[in-house]
Structure 1
Amino acid sequence: MLRLAASWVWDFWIADDGDRYHLYFLKASRALLDPNRRHWRATIGHATSTDLTTWTEHADAVIPDDSPAFDDMATWTGSVVRQDDGTWRMFYTAVSRSEGGLAQRISSVVSDDLFTWRREAGRQVIEPDARWYETIDTRQWPDQAWRDPWVFQHDGEWHMLITARANHGDPDDRGVIGHATSPDLTTWTVQPPLSQPGAGFGHLEVVQTIDVDGKPIGLFSCLGSELSNARRAQDPIGGVWAFPTDSPTGPFDTARSYRLTDEQLYVGRLVQDRSGSWQLLAFRNDDDNGGWVGEISDPRPVGWVDGQLRLHGSEAAPAEPLRVGS
């Protein structure tokens, strides 16, 4: 478990150098007192582990840039991949002071060793394409959703999955999985979304697609308060969700999503331990009394049960996922 005395920690992502796991996570000072204030003070912390359980904290990986800049207010969730030359690239979400944090963008930094990260001159800043997605000017949501990049290579091309919202549909039901592609990790083209609105989610946060024991699966997170009205009327509880897929690049039928955990855990990430077993890590969100926690859980083993991914030892999920919308 990762719990910091001085800071809350929440969204996170993991890079594996073969010897150690590198955990990157959002953090903000507990001196803020109110955890709802954390988002605008977030930096990207760093810790390492050999077993996914005992973590050693290091200096922060990324902090907001000097003003004026597109990332001068806060740096949010991302992912890390290794480039062909052996260096590492971290993609992250950025918000700026000039827009009050309402517009979200995606960019990247690079590192030789996973400890020291540097911004590049002329790096691309990836923004939503208004042909398919809500923007800051057309949004029907508190902010422009364009964040949480999950980057991976498939069939010789780099793909980025993004928390996004379609530019059509009921305002409470526009959550989609955004998409961008690149031949080289530096030049990106925004593509149409890989899922459709109307699946029951206002947004799908921190998407991950990955093969678990040879079967592709997708994960995302959505709180009960951010489900569509129709889905909430059937079941008001949110948390970490899973959805079946035939390919890590979609298309995805997120209306078939089923809940993997309740809201005590959030931002679930699947990672393989050194024995080859699959584990779920998440941040501890709500305690038994509904209070916010802000720490990273110990790994919990997962496996397939009747065609659905489950936490070992958890109660069985519904045999059929909820279906709402069209």
Structure 2
Amino acid sequence: MVLALKDHFVWDSWYVHDGEKYHGYFLKAPRSIGDPDLRHFNVSYGHATSTDLVNWDHLGECFRPSVDGWDNYTTWTGSVVRGDDDLWHLYYTGTRKNDPQLAQQIGHATSTDLHNWERVGDGLILDLVGPNAHHYETDVSNAEWHDRAMRDPWVMRDPDGEGWLMYFTARVPGVAEANDAGCIGFATSLDGYEWTLEPPVYAGGFGQLEVPQVFEKNGTWYCLFCTANNHYSKEQTTLRPVVTGSHYLIGDSPRGPWRIAPGFLDGTQPCTRYAARIVDTEDSMVILGFADRPNNATEFVGHIMDPDPVEITAEGLLSIPPKLKAAE
């Protein structure tokens, strides 16, 4: 039973377990806008719960852009964690209306019940400024890229010490090939409230590595990301299938070094599933993402597909069993 809304497009999603059930958050926009490409600029958050990641109870809208703040245009993909203060913390992407560079920044809100969210101050906690900003592409006024990327924050506890780590989609400057400048940005925090921008933990191979998710399994670190077939570097087009979907990096630690895994994890052309997340349940790992154009659909579909199992090979590579690949 897919997570679908009759009157809304549904796309990027993320998940957290409260000890009893899963909470799924997803971007949504009314289908009445007509053109699905306009969904990005008519966005709010939906919230649903499940005990099995298959059957969902939709709880309605839980977050949206501010009225007149720095995030009054869009609130895009984020992540949710439980803090040391026993609050739930939402880290999210925001943009401002009438910004010609569509500059993205990172926001922060908290909740006691995982549905009603309150911004911390005005919400803004991180931008591409400060001593390490020169490691990032901060100006796209030359139109070599379509936006000033800083989005899709993924936050987790630092397994090597106190505090928190944040990964996000961004780009590095000074790269001749635009499709070789995508990076996984990085920031750190001791308390989850005050954040320090750090240099990227990985750069290259694609124009953008969207919706990163970092996790460890059996002693190996993985960084899931998604990308489109028109965002491969020239070199990468010779090394792997040129498809749209979700792939991953392999690392020795959460800070790297990271390398692109061989092959491609979950991609087709046209795209079947995009912006996927891997959820580690008690019994197995599964992958969930939104239906883009499965089965060669001519139009955007827009719902969260049922989970498929993910295996780890003897070589430590992620694999989706072929007969169970998304075909919805």
Same fold by TM (over 0.5)? yes
The AA in structure 1 aligned to 2:190 is P
Partners of 1:315 and 1:306 in 2: CA distance:
19
Provide the residue aligned with 2:152 in structure 1.
148
Look up the match of 2:255. Answer: 249
Aligned counterparts, 1:62-101, within 5 A = 62-67=63-68, 69-99=69-99
Q: TM-score, normalised by structure 1?
A: 0.90
How far off is 1:213 after superposition?
Answer: 4.2
Supply the RMSD in Å over aligned alpha carbons: 1.9
Residue identity opposite 2:318 in structure 1: L
Cα offset for 1:97? 0.7
Would the alpha carbon gap of residues 91 and 213 (structure 1) be closer, same or farther in structure 2, given more than 3 Å must change? same
Q: Secondary structure at the match of 1:221?
A: strand
Identify the match of residue 179 of structure 1 among 179, 183, 186: 186
Q: CA deviation at 1:41?
A: 0.7
Give structure 1 regions of 4+ aligned residues with deviation exceeding 4 angstroms: none
| Distance in 1 (alpha carbons) for counterparts of 2:273 and 2:289 | 6
Distance (whole Å) between structure 1 residues aligned to residue 58 and residue 212 of structure 2: 25
Aligned equivalents of 2:289, 2:16: Cα separation in 1: 15
Question: Which of 179, 203, 225 does residue 208 from structure 2 map onto?
Answer: 203
The range that moved more, 27-36 or 132-141, is 132-141
Q: Residue deviations 1:57-83, cap 9 Å, x none?
A: 11312111012x111011100000101
Q: Say whether 1:240 aligns with 2:249.
A: no
Matched, 1:309 2:318: yes
Partner of 2:107: 107
Mapped pair 1:288 → 2:289:
no
SS in structure 2 at match of 1:131: helix
Aligned pair count? 311
CA apart distance, 1:247: 1.4
Decide whether aligned partners of structure 1 residues 257 and 188 sit closer, same or farther in structure 2, where only a CA change above 3 A counts: farther
Gapped regions of structure 2 (runs ≥ 5):
none
Structure 1 unaligned segments of length 5 or more: list them: 317-326
CA contact (8 A) 2:223 2:250 kept: yes
One of 131, 134, 152 as aligned partner of 2:137: 134
Could you tell me which residue of structure 1 aligns to residue 168 of structure 2?
162
* d(CA) in 2 for partners of 1:132, 1:138: 17
- Residues 125 and 194, structure 2, Cα contact 8 Å, conserved in 1: no
2: distance between equivalents of 1:229 and 1:10?
Answer: 29
**2:101·2:140 contact (CA, 8 Å) conserved in 1?**
no
Given the two structures, how large is their TM-score scaled by the length of structure 2? Answer: 0.89
Q: 2:280 aligns with which of 272, 276, 288?
A: 272
Call closer, same or farther: CA 1:189–1:138 in 2, change over 3 Å: farther
Partners of 2:21 and 2:98 in 1: how far apart? 38
The answer to whether the Cα contact below 8 Å between 1:22 and 1:48 also exists between their aligned partners in 2 is yes
Partner residue of 1:191 out of 177, 194, 198:
198
**CA deviation after TM superposition for structure 1 residue 128, in Å:** 1.6
**Hey, what's the Cα distance between the residues in 1 that align with 2:255 and 2:301?**
33
Contact 1:243/1:257 (<8 A) preserved: no
Match in the other structure for 1:322: none
Q: In the alignment, which residue of structure 2 is the partner of 1:13? A: 14
Q: CA deviation at 1:214?
A: 4.3
Q: Which whole-Å deviations, capped at 9, do the CAs of 1:302-321 have from their partners, x for residues lacking one?
A: 111242110134599xxxxx
**2-side partners of 1:142 and 1:122: how far apart?**
27
Does the residue aligned with 2:121 lie in a helix, a strand or coil? coil
2:79 touches 2:154 (CA, 8 Å); kept in 1?
Answer: yes
